[in-house]
Amino acid sequence: MDLYPPFEANASGMLDVGDGHSLYWEESGNPDGVPVLFVHGGPGAGCAAPYRRFFDPRFWRVILFDQRGCGRSRPHASVQANTTWHLVADMEKLRRLLKVEAWALFGGSWGSTLALAYGQSHPDRVLAFVLRGVFLCRPAEIEWFMTGMGTFFPEARHRFAQHVAEDDGPELAAWYRRLTDPDPLVHGPAARIWYGYEEACARLIPRSDGTEADLASCLSMARLECHYMMHGGFFEPDQLLRHMDRIRHLPAAIVQGRYDVVCPPTSAWDLAAAWPTARLTMVPDAGHSAMEPGIRLALVAAVENFKKTLGQENLHKILDTAR
């Protein structure tokens, strides 16, 4: 089946997580259902109403939130006190605020990275994983984003590279200087070019170059992606794969576009190899975007499958805890 019909949030709010950051969160679906947390990508993308539609609102208690610096969270596009481990701690604060005992995690692209980092930090708080467009934040994956995508989208790569061609030093560092420059005349055009580069490469059939996106969305995505890439995701080498023993016992579904140029399938393959109980689905006619037809069908199917197992094994425990 395809996405569920649109439905509205039941509750929303702002959560003060310290360091001057306040996060937007919302709940929808069944207040007494199995909790599932949507972990958005980017870093910097934020959440949107269509993301609720991967979930049956009669069964799931659907929780969305905007990570630090993203979407409706404040301050916007801030890189201060913004690391993977701040975000993991924020997710725990949100879980406690909403009185969730344990939840399923649904994350794509950077959302898969953060879901794995959270799960490995708090395995007793995770019921299951649904991951899409896997990104393990390894140096080769970052280098692929910066240069390798040009193998398939040379025109997009050319526009991207030309924007910092006159800068000295490594290209990623040049981007970081521009995107964190306080002058809007510097960081604004850079944000649009960075955002447009990824947007041009994100689908099997390219849809746009991102020029129609608002500047705020471009800035949070570009600045935070560059910030996290500059710092290697704040991970030790191969950290996510090396710590798989912490979550290997948990059920997982991995959905990967065969022609994902942003996060190539080798990362999903490596993750599945380290996670023998995970189900890896290679979608033969899709790229990176969660909203491509084949990807969204596979994601909904994965969520539907977990309705059976989580409903049978965990729902009574979760409902007793909620009461």
Please give the positions annotated as active site.
Answer: 109, 260, 288
Task: Identify which of 191, 206, 195 has the alpha carbon closest to the alpha carbon of residue 261.
Answer: 206
Find the radius of gyration of the CA atoms of the chain: 19
Neighbouring C-beta atoms of residue 295, cutoff 10 Å: 26
Q: Report the C-alpha gap between 89 and 19 in whole angstroms.
A: 12
**Are 54 and 303 a contacting pair, CB within 8 Å?**
yes
Q: Report the C-alpha gap between 32 and 100 in whole angstroms.
A: 11
Token pair of 140 as six digits = 């080769």
Q: What is the DSSP letter of 89?
A: H
Token pair of 119 as six digits = 């799960």
Helices (H), the chain: 84-97, 110-121, 139-146, 154-163, 171-179, 184-201, 215-230, 239-242, 265-273, 293-313, 315-322
Q: Torsions phi, psi of 249, nearest 5?
A: -80, -10
Q: Report the C-alpha gap between 268 and 255 in whole angstroms.
A: 8
CA 26, chain centre distance (Å): 17
